[in-house]
Structure 1
Amino acid sequence: MSQKKIFLVLVAVSTVSLLLHLNWTMLAFSLGCFSLPLSVAAPGKPKHTSVAFLKTHKTASSTVQNILFRFAERHNLTVALPVPSCGHLFCYPHMFSGCFVHPHTVPPDILASHTRLNVGQMRRLMPNDTRYVTILREPAAMFESQFSYFMQVCQSFQRVPNGSLEEFLRHPTLYYRAEENDSMYARNMVAFDLGGDKDHQPAGDSEYVQGFVARIESVFSLVMIAEHFDESLVLLRRLLNWEPEDVLYLKLNMRKEESRLTLHGPMPAQIRAWNWLDSALYDHFNATLWRQLEQLGRPCVERELRLMRRMRKSLVRECFGEDTLPLLSNSQIRNKDLRPWQPSSKVAIVGYDLPVNGSGGQAKDMCVKMVMPELQYSRLLLKSQMIRYRRTHPHALTPKNGS
Structure 2
Amino acid sequence: MQNILFRFAERHNLTVALPKNGDSQFAYPNFFNVKSVQLETTPPNIITNHMRFNKEELDKLMPPDTVYITTMRETSAMFESLFVYCYVSSASIRRVPNESIEAFLDDPFKYYRPLEAHSMYVRNCVTYDLGGNKDSTEVDYAQQLAAKVEKTFSLVMISDYFDESLILLRHLLNWDLEDIVYFKANMRSEKAKKTITPELSDKIRAWNYIDSYLFDHFNASLWRQLKAIGLDCVAREVQLLRQAQEKLSMTCFGEKTSRLNSAAKIKNRALKPWQPGNVEIVGYELSPDLSAENQTLCTKLTMPELQYTDALRQVQIQRYKKAKERQTNN
Corresponding residue of 2:200: 267
Match status 1:252 vs 2:185: yes
SS at match of 1:262: coil
Partner of 1:208: 141
In structure 2, list runs of 5 or more residues that go unmatched.
Answer: none
Report the equivalent of 1:368: 299
* C-alpha displacement of 1:209: 1.2
User: Is residue 294 of structure 2 the alignment partner of residue 324 of structure 1?
Assistant: no
The one-letter code matched in structure 1 to 2:15 is T
- Consecutive unaligned residues in structure 1, runs of 5 or more: 1-63, 398-403
Is 2:317 the counterpart of 1:381? Answer: no
- Does 1:102 find its partner at 2:38? yes
Residue among 277, 280, 286 paired with 1:354 = 286
One-letter amino acid of the counterpart of residue 70, structure 1: R
Aligned-residue offset at 1:336? 0.6
Residue 239 of structure 2 corresponds to 306
Letter in 2 for 1:363: N
**Could you tell me which residue of structure 2 aligns to residue 83 of structure 1?**
20
Match for 2:287: what amino acid? P
Q: 2:54 corresponds to which letter in structure 1?
A: N
User: 2:183–2:258: 8 Å Cα contact kept in structure 1?
Assistant: no
The answer (yes or no) to whether the contact 1:390–1:396 under 8 Å persists in 2 is no
- Which residue of 145, 157, 163 maps to 2:81? 145
Q: How many Å apart are 1:265 and its aligned residue?
A: 4.9
Over alpha carbons, which structure has the higher Rg? Answer: 1
The alpha-carbon deviation at position 396 of structure 1 amounts to 9.2
Give, in whole Å, the separation in 1 of the partners of 2:177 and 2:298: 16
Instruction: Give 1:186 shift.
Output: 1.2
Amino acid at match of 2:237: E
Partners of 1:286 and 1:164 in 2: CA distance: 29
Give the Cα–Cα distance (whole angstroms) in 1 for the partners of residues 257 and 31 of structure 2: 41
Q: Does 1:93 align with 2:26?
A: no
Give the match's secondary structure for 2:151. Answer: helix
Q: How does 1:4-403 map to 2 (within 5 A)?
A: 64-84=1-21, 87-200=23-136, 203=137, 205-345=138-278, 347-358=279-290, 360-394=291-325
Aligned-residue sequence identity (percent) comes to: 49
Q: Give the aligned residue type for 2:243.
A: R
Deviations 1:156-207 (A, max 9, x none): 111111211111111111110001011111100000000000012xx2x221
Note if contact 1:90-1:96 (Cα within 8 Å) is conserved in structure 2: yes
Please give the alpha-carbon distance, in whole angstroms, between the structure 1 residues aligned to 2:254 and 2:301.
15
What is the alpha-carbon root mean square deviation over aligned residues? 1.3
Deviation of the 1:324 alpha carbon: 2.5
TM-score (structure 2 length as normaliser): 0.97
Corresponding pairs, count? 328
Deviations 1:119-170 (A, max 9, x none): 0111111111111000000000110110010111101111111211111111
Name which of structure 1's ranges 271-280 and 258-267 shifts more when overlaid on structure 2.
Answer: 258-267
Equivalent in the alignment of 1:43: none
User: Aligned to 1:351, what secondary structure does the other structure show?
Assistant: strand
Q: Cα distance, 1:395 vs. partner?
A: 8.4
Aligned residue type for 1:370:
L
What's the secondary structure of 1:301's corresponding residue? helix
**How far 1:394 sits from its partner (Å)?**
2.1
Distance 1:268 1:210 in 2: 22
Q: Is the 8 A contact 1:81 1:378 kept in 2?
A: yes
CA displacement, residues 283-315 of structure 1 (integer Å, 9 cap, x when unaligned): 000000000000111111111111111111111
Structure 1: distance between partners of 2:132 and 2:304: 29
Query: What is the rounded CA distance, in whole Å, between the counterparts of 1:171 and 1:139 in structure 2?
Result: 19
CA displacement 1:313-355 (0-9 Å, x = unmatched): 111001111122211001111101100000012x100000112
